[in-house]
Structure formats: structure tokens, C-alpha cells
Amino acid sequence: MNGNTLQADLVRLFERHDVELEQDEDWLVTDGDFPAVRASWHEGAEGAPGRLDVDVVLSEERHIEESFAGNGSGDAGVRDALKAFERNALYVLLAACWYVTDDRRIQLQSWDLGLRSWDVFVGPLTFSRDDVAAPEGLLSGLQDALRNESLSGELHWIRLFHRRADDGSVVTEALLDNQPWPGGDRLLSQLAWPSTEKGYSARCFVALDIRDY
């Protein structure tokens, strides 16, 4: 799949959610300005999943980076990765960056952190398998972890990832504003994740912005 076809798919995806984007070279822009979004596809080697990278630029200095695996080659892999993007992150991005909120797809919460009140957009905790239950305490633990951070008065975003391999080994990753986040790593290690014979992975995307009174 070439870049123009991928961008066209991205335009249609956003159009289905009432967001119109215009092409400006490699980017899709909003009324000629930010936020802007771009996607690129990297084919997997020798049957391995490919990778879809999605960048959302908020300003000259700040942008969100997210990646999604896609099973299959060519168009099939891209479609699979776009579905993962839609399921995991799109609705949070629409609410936080384009102010298009679908409360059927995400949780909307209000948190007091420090001296500020925040609108919090919580995407689903999505699992690679349907028979795995979410651990208790994820959101309350996330809120407590963020109380230890000095958050500037602008949009912030969090990605949490947990993978349990078939052999029982565990890999976790927590990112805050694209950067490794030790507080999030501690949170993930403290949760009672399901112990299963067959491995699984889970991810969650969250954004928070200053509440506009």
C-alpha cells in the first residue's frame, strides 16, 4: 500500500467520525492548522506483523506517537492495524484533540491533580484475547500515580502496555507524553494481572486536559 492510499484511508476513517482533514504534503491537517495527523506503514519481514505508525501533531513542539501491529501482508495488514488504531486510540484522540466525544467508546472522568482539575479521556483496556479479564484498580492506581507528577497545564497522554508470554514472562511499558514513565511502570507491576497458560497482551491509551470551566 502506498502512502497516498493509506492517507486516503485515514481521511475516510476520520470522516466517519465527523472530522474533516485536508492533505498538506505528507500530513492531514485541520482547517489548515493543528492538530495534524500522519500515518506510515512498515511491512513485516518473513510473515511477521507489520507496523502502523500514527503521529498526531498538537503544536510545533508537541506530538503524539502511537504504533499498532497489523497481521497480514500489504492491504490486509494495513486494515488490521487501522482497526487496532481505531479500537485502542482513535476515540481518545478525537475527544482530546478534535473535541468529538463518543462516551459509548471511552470513559469520561474528572480528576483533581495538584491544584488543577482535569478532563480525563480513558480508552478501553484492550486484550489480544477475549477470555482475559481486566485487573482491578487500574484507573484509581493511574490517578494516584499521576498525583506524583508535576503536570504542565496542557494536554498529556499515557500509554500502558502489559504482555504475558506463554512461558509466564512479563513485559510492561508505560509512557507519559511519549517518554518512559517509571511511575506507570510501578503501577503496572502492582496490578493483579491474570495468570494464564496462554500468553496475552493488553494496552490502554488515556489523555487528560485542563478542565475548561
Q: Report the pLDDT averaged over residues 115-143.
A: 96
Please say whether the beta carbons of 133 and 194 come within 8 A.
yes
* Average of per-residue pLDDT across 26-53: 94
Segments forming the whole domain that contains residue 189: 107-210
Residue 28 pLDDT > 90: yes
- The Cα 40–Cα 27 span in angstroms is 11
Predicted confidence band at 3 (pLDDT cuts at 50, 70, 90)? low
Q: Are residues 61 and 19 in the same domain?
A: yes
Q: What is the pLDDT of residue 69?
A: 94
The pLDDT assigned to 192 comes to 97
Last residue of a domain, one of 31, 65, 97: 97
Residue 119 has pLDDT above 60, yes or no: yes
Q: CB under 8 Å to 12, separation ≥6 — which residues? A: none
Distance of CA 170 to the CA centre of its chain: 20
* Residue after which a domain boundary falls, among 48, 72, 97: 97
- Taking the C-alpha atoms of residue 124 and residue 17, their distance in angstroms, rounded to an integer, is 18
Same domain? For 192 and 113 the reply is yes
Which pLDDT score is estimated for 73? 82
Partner residues linked to 77 by β-bridges: none
**pLDDT tier, 47 (very low <50, low <70, confident <90, very high otherwise):** confident
Query: What is the rounded average pLDDT of the residues 72-98?
Result: 95
Is residue 68 within 8 A of residue 85, CB to CB? The reply is: yes
Q: What is the mean pLDDT of residues 180-204?
A: 96
- 2 pLDDT band, cuts 50/70/90, is low
Q: Answer whether residue 188 shows pLDDT above 90.
A: yes
Q: Are strands 116-122 and 126-127 parallel, antiparallel or unpaired?
A: unpaired
Residue-level pLDDT at 46:
83
Quick one: 130 and 186 in the same domain?
yes
Model confidence pLDDT, tens digit, residues 148-185 = 999 999 999 999 999 999 999 999 999 999 999 999 99
Distance CA 99, CA 95 (A): 4
Are residue 143 and residue 184 in the same domain, yes or no? yes
Residues 92 and 123 in one domain: no
Number of domains in the chain: 2
Residues 112, 50 share a domain: no
Do 16 and 83 fall into the same domain? yes
Regarding whether 168 and 137 lie in a shared domain, the answer is yes
Reported as half-sphere exposure (CB side, CA atoms, 13 A), residue 113 has a value of 25
102 assigned to some structural domain? no
Same domain, 118 and 194: yes
Instruction: Indicate left, alpha or beta for 71 from its phi (over 0: left) and psi (-120 to 50: alpha).
Output: beta
DSSP secondary structure string, 110-178?
A: EEEETTEEEEEEE---EESSTT-PPPTTHHHHHHHHHTTS---SS-EEEEEEEEE-TTS-EEEEEEETT
Average pLDDT over residues 62-69: 96
Indicate the range of 36-40, 41-45, 141-145 predicted with least confidence: 41-45
Is 136 within the bounds of a domain? yes
Among the candidates 70, 97, 124, a domain finishes at 97
Here the CATH number for the domain that contains residue 199 is 3.30.500
Residue 182: all three cell numbers together: 517509571
Residues 8 and 84 in one domain: yes
The count of other CB atoms within 10 Å of the CB of residue 1 is 17
- Do 83 and 135 belong to one domain? no
Model confidence, pTM: 0.95
Report residue 16's pLDDT band, with 50, 70 and 90 as the boundaries: very high
